[in-house]
Amino acid sequence: MADGVRYEGRFINPEAYAAYLLGVEQEARGNFNEALRTYLEAHTEDPDSPEIWARIGAVRCFSSAPKAGPAAARAAFERGLQLDPAYPGNYLERARCAERAGDLPSALRDAIAAVARRPQDEPANLLVARVLSALGQRAEARAWLEAYRSYSSPTSEGERALESARNPGSRPAPAARDLSTGSSSTRSGAFAELRSGRTERARQQARIELEADPTNTDAWIAILVACDALHDDACFESTLARLQTPSLSPSGTALGYLRELLARRAGVPVSF
């Protein structure tokens, strides 16, 4: 169920979900070999998932030297696109891989393809603008960001990118960092509600955040924790069914809640 509408999707067993989540955790920590192993386990359980191939490609790319990344990841991205050409994640990750390798024309082509399939996706839009700027097309980069802002509410990162495009001489302030994982600080107000024992309010807060940004990993983890605490299996399953490619790695706080959630659902201690 999504916004009161029932969608029929393919069955995905819990083992695939668990392996995928462990892969996200390991990838966020930079443990690429372990992440690849768990993503391959997830693929074994769910061979028709384009999302898993996107993560496999990303891990293969970023665990290789920059110039070697696209070749190392090519087969994974191509497989994911064969499974579902409409899914934007493989285009986005292939674009990031190409940008890292310095292949800006390929990065721009795939980033635009990702936006075409999910126009509201901020990371894809920021990538388009960044590559345009790197290609010397600064006016086009600013126009792209202005257009994106006209139909979407950017995060602080998006606002900084737009301010930088409007004032090329300015230096945008860096994002706050979470020293425990190196990722951006907590991006969900739902965790404060969870710590205060206000589980239902945490669920509602996370829902609002996911409506604003369906790729907000922290909000996604927060609502799963809230649904689990409320013993609402329908909520838990529908949230998993709407999982989208994360825009950023989970914060340290979110990873702590994720570890506890997996331990409860699996019935055994889970260590990362």
Domain final residue, candidates 117, 144, 162: 117
- Is residue 4 one of the residues assigned to a domain? no
User: What pLDDT shows up at residue 178?
Assistant: 38
Residue 7 has pLDDT above 60, yes or no: no
Q: Are residues 137 and 201 in the same domain?
A: no
Same domain, 220 and 240: yes
The region, left, alpha or beta by phi > 0 then psi within -120 to 50, assigned to residue 167 is beta
Q: Is residue 82 part of a domain?
A: yes
Does residue 38 fall inside a structural domain?
yes
- 246: in domain: yes
Same domain, 113 and 129: no
Please write the tens of the pLDDT for every residue from 29-83.
778 899 999 999 999 988 889 999 999 999 999 999 999 999 999 999 999 999 9
pLDDT, residue 250, reads: 78
For residue 27, is it within any domain?
A: yes
pTM (2 d.p.): 0.62
Residue of 69, 59, 65, 72 whose CA lies nearest to 30: 59
Do 14 and 64 have their domain in common?
yes
Regarding whether 150 and 140 lie in a shared domain, the answer is yes
Q: What is the pLDDT of residues 178-202, one digit of tens each?
A: 333 334 455 778 888 787 778 888 8
Q: Which residue has the higher pLDDT, 213 or 110?
A: 110
Do 161 and 247 lie in a common domain?
Answer: no
Check whether residue 106 and residue 14 sit in a common domain.
yes
Q: Which of 174, 203, 220 is the last residue of a domain?
A: 174
Sign of CA dihedral 101, 105, 109, 111: positive
Q: Is residue 131 part of a domain?
A: yes
Range of the domain at 151: 119-174
What is the structure's pLDDT at 9? 62
Judge whether residue 139 has pLDDT over 80.
yes
Both 98 and 126 in a single domain? no
State whether 168 and 112 are in the same domain.
Answer: no
The domain that holds 209 is classified in CATH as 1.25.40
For 111-125, how does the pLDDT look when each residue is reduced to its tens digit (9 = 90+)? 999 999 999 888 899
Q: Which of 142, 264, 150, 153 is nearest to 216 (CA)?
A: 153
Q: Is residue 251 part of a domain?
A: yes
Instruction: Check residue 172 and report its DSSP letter.
Output: P
Sign of CA dihedral 226, 231, 235, 240: positive
Q: Provide the number of structural domains found in the chain.
A: 3
Burial classification of residue 95, based on how many CB atoms lie within 10 Å of its CB (0-12 exposed, 13-18 middle, 19 or more buried): buried
Same domain (yes/no): 160, 255: no
Place of tokens 């930088």: 164
pLDDT tens digit string along 84-94? 999 999 999 99
Q: What are the pLDDT digits (tens) for 151-177?
A: 887 677 778 888 888 887 654 444 433
For the domain that residue 69 is a member of, what is the CATH number? 1.25.40.10
107 located within any domain: yes
Same domain, 152 and 58: no
pLDDT at residue number 53: 95
Together in a domain, 28 and 109: yes
